[in-house]
Amino acid sequence: MLTVILPDGSRKQFDRPVSSFDVANEIGARLAKATVVAEVDGKMVDLHSPLPTAGEVNLRLLTKKDPEALAVMRHSAAHVMAQAVMRLYDGVQLAFGPTTGSGFYYDMRLEHPISEEDFPKIEAEMQKIVKADERFERRDVPRDEALALCRELKQDFKVEHIETGLADEKTLSFYRQGEFVDLCRGKHIPSTSHIGSAFKLLSVAGAYWKGDSDREQLQRLYATAFFDRAELDAHLEQLAEAKRRDHRVLGKQLELFTVSQLVGSGLILWLPKGAILRQTLEDYIKSELRKRGYEAVYTPNIGKVELYETSGHFPYYSDSQFPPIEMKDGERYLLKPMNCPHHIMIYQAKPRSYRDLPVRLAEFGTVYRFEQSGELSGMTRVRGFTQDDAHIFCTEEQVADEFRNCLEMTQTVLASLGMNDYRVRLGFRDPKSDKYVGGDAVWDRAEASLKAVCESMNLPDMSIEPGEAAFYGPKADFVVTDCIGREWQLGTVQLDYNLPSKERFGLEYIGADNHPHRPVMIHRAPLGSLERFVGVLIEHFAGAFPLWLAPEQVRVLTVSEKSDAYGREVEKLLADAGLRVTGDYRGAKLNAKIRDAQVQLIPYMFVVGERDRDNRTVAIRDRLEGDLKEPFPIDAAIAKLKEEIAAKTVRQVAAKQPAVAADRESQNEY
């Protein structure tokens, strides 16, 4: 006797073997038809797989209204897409086909290079399979049988995967729909008709087998599916909208930055308006640094190769550096890829006492890294960038407080810009890799203290990720998502017991005991790189910056030439008050001037006509609120803006794109 408990608490009893589908059918034929997948005691199961014959189970029947059901359907759609491709092209070898946060993909090998022109054909074939309403049938088989089956199907990747990735599995499951059979963990929808017609192939890309660039490159087909056409349309519209606020598009439109072929790829040229953004941010960071006891330093853009051999950067990252500049006498200089070795030289410029610590050396340091050409992207991935860098040299006892202060400063800075949507990633070493300097004991100590500090701070969405450490130490990265769903590391705080060590720079300070001791280093950059940060910031505000950051804060618009002289007077008063102001004195109509300023996302427009001239007032038009109606005396108008600037008020942040963001893979490929 089986007792099934439904979410509403009601119970049903069965004395015959039943599946979740049978239970649904018992409740109602319509429910049975609408159910996509079931959850038994919290675990997802196929609708038609048998329930236990005795005892009690909690059963949830999931329909397309349940978000979990969507991922299951998309996974099934991935199978159907693979089936369609196999029908259209010969010799298809399947690799992995998981779902993602916003859709799914399938990696496969085939002779024919798939292009977007093939998408309609593939979609049409998928539609046929959906119409045929093929059932998804699961089969669990012992591993030797599974191997035999995959060999028979000539699926080399699946054979390899069973032999390596799934070496510990005793039985393996396959799913079949129609003629298509795939090694797969599941779960799946009952039959292909549940996919409906709201699916779309999105792009094709290369992807390495098992993510290994030394191995074969496969074709990856990206697609998405929804239960309703309207949801698909909304998703596609969101993608289009995200593209419109891409920092590369807005950067050009708003004249913030450019890249010149002649200067070189990945080298940002800051245009005057972009430079204002950057300067304003730098000034803000500088004021924070002063408050927090940092000292400013300046260091050159190159250093001898030996410096970076000692630090380890040169041997570890020689591939991603501009090659050394070689002098006639054999001296070699490197464009600096990091600021820390230079700052270490400053630390070492004189003997240090424990009384001096912590020493906090800050610099907006420009560094150069030769990123692979395929990686370059707008301002977010570049070959030359400036870090809001600083290095803290402190005693072991001071580490926790210093580290906490760095994290806290980063949080303060992000919060002041309305950037609340980020996650914190603790990058620890990968125990299997040998790319790290320093012994295990040092690393264990560093990771433990970093973890303890972070756990005491309630950081958002914190995760520990092995293999994400810097080669010299573990770190806490602040990771944000851009408008098309890509994650970027911005702020970072890194703990370093290695560069100070005897094997590297052998840093010392004299302790209270009059003996030399080894300091600990913290590397930190709240914004990370100015280039990347501004790129993300452009998308964060969709180009509509808060007043304190806006390159042009206010524009004076004259109603006609009759108010020209007064307009220029107002403009001068604003400029004298320290505001970034321009005036529009064209012969155009006011409506046209307003439209231009509005399109250029200017926070405030001061409209002046003859009435204003006579009353010494301005009519304020707020970018967000429109005409404020009541005219302001000039002084009051200036005071209003200065107040908003002083408070660094953030009035509006671009709407999030929920379907695009956080595209992390789910683990259902097997």
Q: Work out whether 655 is an interface residue with RNA (CB under 7 A).
A: no
- Subset of residues 479 to 498 that bind RNA, contact rule: CB under 7 A: 484-486, 489, 492, 494
> Of the candidates 14, 119, 317, 632, which one interacts with RNA according to CB under 7 A?
317
- Subset of residues 516 to 575 that bind RNA, contact rule: CB under 7 A: 523, 559-563
Structure tokens at 63: 């329909």
Closer to RNA by Cβ: residue 166 or 484: 484
> Of the candidates 29, 592, 636, 647, which one interacts with RNA according to CB under 7 A?
592
Closer to RNA by Cβ: residue 254 or 277: 254
Contact track, RNA, 616-635, x by CB under 7 A: ---x-x----xx---x----
> Is residue 328 flagged as an active site residue?
no
Closer to RNA by Cβ: residue 319 or 513: 319
- Subset of residues 114 to 173 that bind RNA, contact rule: CB under 7 A: 115-116
Structure tokens at 420: 């609340």
Q: Work out whether 259 is an interface residue with RNA (CB under 7 A).
A: yes
Q: How far is the CB of 462 from RNA (least distance, A)?
A: 18
- Closest Cα partner for 334 from 374, 364, 370, 363? 370
Closer to RNA by Cβ: residue 216 or 401: 216
Contact track, RNA, 29-68, x by CB under 7 A: ----------------------------------------
> Is residue 291 flagged as an active site residue?
no
Which of 475, 504, 524, 593 is flagged as catalytic?
A: 475
- Subset of residues 190 to 229 that bind RNA, contact rule: CB under 7 A: 203-208, 211-213, 217, 219-220, 222
What is the maximal distance between C-alpha atoms in the chain? Answer: 94
> Is residue 340 flagged as an active site residue?
yes
The span of 123-131, 190-198, 260-268, 543-551 binding RNA (CB under 7 A) equals: 260-268
- Subset of residues 390 to 419 that bind RNA, contact rule: CB under 7 A: none
| Separation CA 224–CA 591 (nearest Å) | 43
The span of 173-181, 365-373, 436-444, 500-508 binding RNA (CB under 7 A) equals: 365-373
| Separation CA 175–CA 182 (nearest Å) | 5
Which of 194, 247, 391, 555 is flagged as catalytic?
A: 391
> Is residue 387 flagged as an active site residue?
yes
| Separation CA 174–CA 185 (nearest Å) | 7
Q: Which residue type occupies 516?
A: P
> Is residue 389 flagged as an active site residue?
yes
Owner of token pair 């998405």: 224
Q: Tell me the C-alpha to C-alpha distance, in Å, between residue 391 and each of 290, 342, 346, 357.
A: 14, 10, 11, 12
| Separation CA 393–CA 399 (nearest Å) | 9
> Of the candidates 151, 154, 611, 616, which one interacts with RNA according to CB under 7 A?
611
Residue 472 contacts residue 312 (beta carbons within 8 Å): yes
Q: Work out whether 243 is an interface residue with RNA (CB under 7 A).
A: yes
Which residues fall within 8 angstroms of residue 472, CB to CB, at 6 or more apart? Answer: 312, 436, 437, 438, 494, 496, 498, 499
Q: Work out whether 463 is an interface residue with RNA (CB under 7 A).
A: no
> Of the candidates 171, 372, 463, 666, which one interacts with RNA according to CB under 7 A?
372
Which of 46, 188, 247, 340 is flagged as catalytic?
A: 340
Q: How far is the CB of 307 from RNA (least distance, A)?
A: 12
Q: Buried (b) or exposed (e) across 473-504, using 16+ Cβ within 10 A?
A: bbbbbbbbbbbebebbbbbbbbbbbbbbbeeb
Phi and psi at residue 155, in whole multiples of 5°? -105, 85
Residue 659 contacts residue 556 (beta carbons within 8 Å): no
- CA torsion angle for 446, 447, 453, 456 (degrees, to 10)? -160
Q: Work out whether 261 is an interface residue with RNA (CB under 7 A).
A: yes
| 610, HSE (Cβ side, Cα atoms, 13 Å) | 3
> Of the candidates 44, 236, 271, 376, which one interacts with RNA according to CB under 7 A?
376
> Of the candidates 163, 610, 635, 643, which one interacts with RNA according to CB under 7 A?
610
Closer to RNA by Cβ: residue 317 or 354: 317
Q: How far is the CB of 52 from RNA (least distance, A)?
A: 40
Residue 69 contacts residue 37 (beta carbons within 8 Å): yes
> Is residue 391 flagged as an active site residue?
yes
Q: Work out whether 590 is an interface residue with RNA (CB under 7 A).
A: yes
Residue 141 DSSP SS3? strand
Which residues fall within 8 angstroms of residue 384, CB to CB, at 6 or more apart? Answer: 266, 267, 268, 366, 367, 368
Binding-site size, RNA (CB under 7 A): 82
**Which residues have a catalytic role annotated?**
340, 369, 387, 389, 391, 475, 523
